[in-house]
Chain A
Amino acid sequence: MDAILCQKLTKKFGDFTALDGLDLAVEKNRVFGFLGPNGAGKTTAVRMLTGLSQPTSGKAYVSGEEVTPRNLSLRSKIGFLPDVPAFYGWMTGREFMLFSGELHKLAPKDNNLRADELLELVDLKEAGKRRVGGYSRGMKQRLGIAQALVNKPEVLFMDEPTSALDPMGRRDVLNLIERLSGDTTVFMSTHILSDVERVCDRVAIISEGKLITSASVEELKRKYSTSAFEIQFEEEPTPILTQLLKMPYVKTAEVRAEGDLKVVYVQASDLAKAKTEIPGIIAQSGLTLTHYELTTPSIEDVFIQLVGNGAKA
């Protein structure tokens, strides 16, 4: 059984279509990255999947239950971290954790233990005694993560979980997500591509409310991104560029300026052939080689290719 299933999920605000017929299936206990540029419809989708917003048409199922605003048994199975979590400023962090636990009907003893455990996990044990009104945005984000985990959710929805965090906080959150994988399904919307590459098993890319593709990170890299050679010389590289462009296994070759350096980027249509032939061409050119690297494709390359160029899978 899929942990999350969307069937033609659509949301319209007047004439504007925020989400257009999303069909998506997320396997159980995986970390799923929901990727898209700002305004792509990520937050709209997350809100509908958590029952906070009603779809204009289509259906969604989470943990086998249909998502509706009145389905409370579903809500006891999920955790939710909004993009900007807002708290009651007069409460202390620990009070908010206890309040969340009470809403999930935890027994008082378990609630106290769970609150302490989670506050320690997100490094807010001391700050938990202070009012949330005085917390920084990063602290609020960490408290948001802690409250989302209070009921040991089967499915955890996180809307931009690392966007407000400093590098250390980001690393901690990503470590936490990695630890959760295997026991919890994590649905993480983000536009931070390095986060996706680090923790997600599978990704879906959406743009302008439409699903562009959904696959594993490796599949996407294989399908949409080609390896590139980065070559640098002490001398002007233009002569070798002309020669490279004549080769049938070279797809593109260009010189890019990186500060004072001029770097030759070569994309090959036949990688195996290029690997064996290019070093020979360099040797024959008489230029002084300073750097030679075969770069591996990143999810960023895939994202830019799919979203930036408006391509469709």
Chain B
Amino acid sequence: MSGLIPLFKKELKEQWKTYKTLIVAIAFAFFGISTPLILAYLPQIIEMSGQGGDIPVVMPDPTPLMSMQEFGQTMLQVGVLICILIAMGAISGERDKGTAMLTLSKPVSRGAFVMSKYLALGLLVLVSMLLGAGLCYWYTVMLIGDFSFMPFLGSTLLMSLFLLLCLAVTLFFSSFFKSSLAAGGTALVILIAQGLATQLPWIGQYLPGNLSSWSTRLLSASSDPAWGALAVSIAIIGLCLYFARIRLERKEL
């Protein structure tokens, strides 16, 4: 992995200088705060907007579990989109602009080139996810009620792993296509397809999409782990990064 450290430092600096760090962190923080806030104040919001009219709107009392589950669902949709958006041009963009050619003409391995991008994006997503989840937990406890911390942490880590998988899949397609849009679009279709395929008998239980349902079950203290899906997800991450490297070695720059 020759050149990994300077490349990783460059990726972090690029994220900072192009405001990617700030934008992603703010996006995750926004959903972390807004989820418990909206849930706690929804009856008042409806009342103030005058939507209720003469017909009374019966709303269930918000619970901490509802807030945590809602945050998990939001992350499954918005978090995945954010991951695709930030990773789709990571390699294809560099190949398209020609910057990859200059960097890879130096004593830098293709593996380090791919890995530096994955580590930097993964760190950004992980820190942003923990920030968003931390804020969600804090506001939920303050506005709605207490909730056991460890199940929430476990659930957050499972969701984070799923987002890391989304990054790896997108990065693979970014090495495959020269167009960022093609890379992002294909990654999105594949991720949606595997989500739908979790409903299939037998094979469904091993697909990464099961991480999100395991994450939801963890919140409600259900002990039904999906170790198979966890192992498959880690394997897919490794394979995506490996084949992204191979693809970059064989592809014309």
Contact = CB atoms under 8 A, between A and B. Distances in A.
A69 B249 CA distance: 6
Contacts of A99: 6, 10
B107 A86 contact: no
A84 interface: yes
A73 B250 CA distance: 19
A218 B159 CA distance: 70
B73 interface: no
A273 interface: no
B61 interface: no
A206 B101 CA distance: 24
A100 interface: yes
B98 A52 contact: no
Contacts, number: 65
Contacts of A78: 105
Nearest to A77: B107
A105 B105 contact: no
A54 B247 CA distance: 13
B102 A87 contact: yes
B112 to A, nearest CB: 10
A47 interface: yes
A84 B106 contact: no
Given A52-B253, A82-B98, A103-B3, A90 B103 contact: no
Interface string A149-181: 000000000000000000000000000000000
B97 A54 contact: no
A86 B250 contact: no
Interface in A72-110: 72-73, 75-76, 78, 80, 82, 84-88, 90, 99-100, 102-105
- Binding site secondary structure of chain B: helix
A53 interface: yes
A298 interface: no
Contacts of A75: 105-108
Interface of B: 2-3, 6-7, 9-10, 14, 17-18, 97-99, 101-110, 249-250, 252-253
Interface of A: 47, 50-54, 69-70, 72-73, 75-76, 78, 80, 82, 84-88, 90, 99-100, 102-105, 144, 147
Q: Which 6 A-B pairs have the closest CB atoms?
A: A86-B98, A102-B6, A103-B106, A80-B105, A75-B107, A72-B107
26 contacts: A47-B253, A53-B253, A72-B107, A72-B109, A73-B107, A75-B105, A75-B107, A76-B107, A78-B105, A80-B105, A82-B101, A82-B102, A82-B105, A86-B98, A86-B99, A86-B101, A87-B99, A87-B102, A88-B99, A103-B3, A103-B103, A103-B108, A104-B107, A105-B107, A144-B102, A147-B102
